[in-house]
């Protein structure tokens, strides 16, 4: 897999956004109004993903692809294998498989990008696990909070994720969310918190300073991803060109 980013390329006119979740994959293309889905799961490999997406996206037009990946992402794609999908993600050539330029970002960061409305925002994805990202004055910082221990209890994803919801029941799980979200909000000095993910719909009363996101905002984040100047575009048939060196002064955010 190679990457080019010596200068800001022209924005693609049409983009296919793929949001990979633990139980299903959602996709939407520019100009379309109804997302399409296919099954995910612990046996899903990247090659199977491409085949499924291409079949489900038949009839759609797209010049480029954005992927929200449920794991750690580096400049050239996944840097770690996901715990809730099949193997083979690290090093997979998505650009060659789709025959399109591709940009990949952590799935929580993509949702955060779609929900961002300025200031310092903490996004928490309450889904199969716990996704998280911080955006501070338009600087995106993907976070890995899942394995942090909760105060006196299990790690955060076992408490706030799907496992915690099943183990605790909805009432106790909601109480855990109302308790822990303000702690995380204070820890990251966030102006506000957006709660997304499939299980956010189970919340009845939100902690102060929070609002619910919408699953559709992941697609908005995937479209916005192509407006960012310092995200590498993966292209399967081009010689690698290193990103330009940028001299930035210190910033207090």
Domains of the chain: 3-109+217-234 (3.30.420.40), 117-212 (3.30.420.40)
Token pair, residue 4, equals 């080019």
- The tokens 């899942």 sit on which residue? 146
Is residue 16 predicted with pLDDT exceeding 80?
Answer: yes
Q: How far is CA 234 from CA 78, 218, 242, in A?
A: 12, 20, 12
For the stretch 117-166, pLDDT in tens is 999 999 999 988 899 999 998 899 999 998 899 877 789 999 999 999 99
Q: Is 232 exposed, middle or buried (0-12, 13-18, 19+ CB in 10 A)?
A: buried
Establish how many alpha carbons lie within 13 A of residue 193's alpha carbon, considering only the half-sphere containing its beta carbon: 24
> Considering the entire predicted model, what is its pTM?
0.88
Nearest residue to 161 via CA among 20, 21, 42, 17: 21
For the stretch 175-231, pLDDT in tens is 999 999 999 999 999 999 999 988 999 999 999 999 999 868 999 999 999 999 888
Is residue 241 predicted with pLDDT exceeding 90?
Answer: no
């Amino acid at each position: 897999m190679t990457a080019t980013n010596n200068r800001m390329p022209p924005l693609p006119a049409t983009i296919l956004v793929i949001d990979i979740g633990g139980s299903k994959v959602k996709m939407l293309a520019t100009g379309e109004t109804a997302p399409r889905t296919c099954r995910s799961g612990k046996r899903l490999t990247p090659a199977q993903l491409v085949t499924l997406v291409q079949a489900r996206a038949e009839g759609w037009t797209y010049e480029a692809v954005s992927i929200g990946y449920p794991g750690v992402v580096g400049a050239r794609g996944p840097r770690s294998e996901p715990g809730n999908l099949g193997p083979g993600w690290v090093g997979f050539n998505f650009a060659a498989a789709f025959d399109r330029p591709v940009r990949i970002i952590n799935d929580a960061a993509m949702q955060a990008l779609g929900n961002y409305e300025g200031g310092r925002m903490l996004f928490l994805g309450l889904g199969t696990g716990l996704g998280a990202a911080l955006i501070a004055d338009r600087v995106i910082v993907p976070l890995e909070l899942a394995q942090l221990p909760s105060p006196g209890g299990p790690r955060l994803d076992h408490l706030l994720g799907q496992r915690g919801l099943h183990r605790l029941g909805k009432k106790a799980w909601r109480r855990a969310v109302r308790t822990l979200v303000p702690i995380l909000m204070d820890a990251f000095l966030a102006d506000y918190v957006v709660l997304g993910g499939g299980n956010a719909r189970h919340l009845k009363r939100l902690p102060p300073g929070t609002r619910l996101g919408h699953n559709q905002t992941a697609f908005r984040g995937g479209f916005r991803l192509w407006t960012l100047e310092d995200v590498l575009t993966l292209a399967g048939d081009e010689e690698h060109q290193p990103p330009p060196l940028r001299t930035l002064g210190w910033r207090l955010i």
